[in-house]
């Protein structure tokens, strides 16, 4: 049987990054739905992230997105995060909103646009250095919608040229996390469509380039936990972006639609025998309350991890060796069906967090106070770096 004390120790150091973009207003393709108390700049996003960390005890890292989170003084931003008991997680360059990127960023047939995209990537390396971040998290919307629109092989070569220049400029303490997505916004050929394509790029760049898995970036029926296992085996698993999907990149709350998949992913992470990779929530909730949704996401991750830690590995290995098909499955189900909520609550309390984070958030008055404070104060005038 799994050692409960060892499980408690593992849970005590479990940590996940929350995304700055998950605290601001968002919505659907049809509109954005503003919420009371929404943060007006990255400093207020850090306030909300600090509250999530206070409640869960497991979310001290905050991933940032640029230029969305750009400021004039990055030393001030870093000091603000540290003052909240936080640290800056991965830096995420934005190469999909500028009009110049209509036909791609680093794969664009126009050399001027590629240079512009590369300049932003290099700028983010310097931003990360100033913030103490150790990773560049790269997702590209680049792709084509029609056959003949562009040369597929040529686009790959342009991408590699830019990424090699970026990798050469990367300080030793930073790594590149390369994400993939099979479709959207490109529908004929996405330039990094799957984990194999991302892995090939990483292998060409160097050992500090690793694949980032986003749970929403897969076709229906994809065995994501198998991808986790494959990449971990060759030491190219850079991290995971956690969300949930019903159809595609829905960005639903982690564990909300397929909690068993989440459990199985942690089973593979633990079974690899390696330290957990970078774990980041990547959600942009559209109708649910942002801070509460983020708290629930962290709690769901803690519980999925605790259940995976409860798997009787000795019994599982024995059933597999015997060829006992359902026996091995039942070992996993025994752990998955166990109630880990009391254990997670105990660990959170030991970390001076909340036994019931959602109940504590609702009773604390934090959300009402934030809404009142942010509505009553003068508009923010901090100048963003351009």
pLDDT of residue 1: 60
Chain segment 87-146, per-residue pLDDT in tens:
999 999 999 999 999 999 999 999 999 999 999 999 999 999 999 999 999 999 999 999
Average pLDDT over residues 187-208: 98
- Average pLDDT value for the chain: 95
Chain segment 203-255, per-residue pLDDT in tens:
999 999 999 999 999 999 999 999 999 999 999 999 999 999 998 888 899 99
pLDDT of residue 380: 52
Asked whether residue 72 carries a pLDDT value surpassing 70, the answer given is yes
Quote the CA–CA distance of 189 and 152 in Å, as a whole number: 8
pLDDT of residue 382: 42
Q: Which among 7, 15, 18, 10 is positioned nearest to 242, based on CA atoms?
A: 18
pLDDT of residue 376: 72
Asked whether residue 385 carries a pLDDT value surpassing 70, the answer given is no
Asked whether residue 378 carries a pLDDT value surpassing 70, the answer given is no
- Beta strand 278-281 with 237-242 is parallel
Cα dihedral value 374, 378, 379, 382, nearest 10: -100
Average pLDDT over residues 148-162: 98
Three-state secondary structure call for residue 210: strand
Q: Which among 17, 18, 16, 24 is positioned nearest to 42, based on CA atoms?
A: 24
Which residues contact residue 275 at a Cβ distance below 8 angstroms, ignoring those fewer than 6 apart?
Answer: none
Tell me the percentage of the chain whose pLDDT exceeds 90. Answer: 89
Quote the CA–CA distance of 124 and 126 in Å, as a whole number: 5
Average pLDDT over residues 267-282: 96
pLDDT of residue 265: 98
Which residues contact residue 177 at a Cβ distance below 8 angstroms, ignoring those fewer than 6 apart?
Answer: 90, 135, 136, 137, 138, 210, 211, 212, 238, 239, 278
Average pLDDT over residues 344-362: 98
pLDDT of residue 377: 66
pLDDT of residue 36: 87
Average pLDDT over residues 141-170: 98
**Which domains are assigned to the chain?**
4-376 (3.20.20.150)
Average pLDDT over residues 40-63: 98
Chain segment 10-48, per-residue pLDDT in tens:
999 999 999 999 998 877 777 888 888 899 999 999 999
């Amino acid at each position: 049987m799994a050692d409960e004390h060892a499980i408690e120790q593992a849970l005590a150091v479990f940590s996940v990054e929350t995304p700055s973009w998950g605290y601001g207003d968002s919505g659907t393709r049809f509109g954005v739905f503003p919420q009371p108390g929404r943060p007006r700049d990255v400093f207020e996003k850090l306030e909300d992230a600090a509250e999530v960390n206070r409640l869960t005890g497991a979310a001290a890292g905050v991933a940032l997105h640029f230029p969305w989170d750009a400021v004039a003084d990055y030393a001030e931003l870093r000091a603000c995060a540290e003052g909240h008991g936080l640290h800056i997680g991965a830096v995420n360059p934005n190469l999909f909103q500028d009009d110049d990127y209509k036909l791609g960023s680093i794969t664009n047939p126009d050399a001027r646009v590629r240079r512009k995209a590369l300049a932003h990537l290099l700028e983010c390396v310097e931003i990360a250095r100033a913030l103490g971040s150790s990773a560049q998290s790269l997702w590209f919307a680049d792709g084509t919608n029609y056959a003949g629109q562009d040369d597929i092989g040529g686009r790959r070569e342009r991408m590699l040229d830019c990424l090699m220049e970026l990798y050469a400029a990367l300080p030793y303490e930073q790594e590149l996390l390369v994400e993939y997505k099979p479709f959207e916004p490109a529908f004929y050929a996405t330039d990094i469509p799957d984990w194999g394509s991302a892995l090939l790029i990483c292998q060409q760049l160097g050992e500090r380039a690793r694949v980032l898995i986003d749970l929403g970036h897969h076709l229906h029926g994809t065995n994501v936990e198998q991808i986790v296992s494959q990449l971990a085996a060759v030491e190219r698993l850079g991290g995971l972006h956690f969300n949930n999907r019903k159809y595609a990149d829905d960005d639903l709350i982690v564990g909300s639609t397929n909690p068993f998949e989440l459990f199985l992913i942690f089973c593979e992470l633990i079974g690899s025998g390696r330290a957990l990779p970078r774990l980041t929530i990547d959600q942009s909730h559209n109708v649910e309350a942002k801070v509460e949704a983020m708290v629930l996401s962290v709690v769901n991750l803690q519980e999925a991890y605790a259940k995976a830690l409860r798997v009787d590995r000795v019994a599982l290995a024995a059933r597999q060796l015997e060829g006992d098909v359902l026996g091995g499955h039942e070992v996993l189900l025994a752990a998955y069906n166990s109630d880990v909520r009391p254990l997670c609550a105990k660990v959170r309390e030991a970390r001076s967090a909340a036994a019931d984070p959602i109940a504590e958030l609702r009773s604390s008055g934090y959300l009402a106070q934030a809404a009142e404070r942010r509505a009553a104060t003068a508009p923010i005038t901090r100048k963003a770096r351009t």
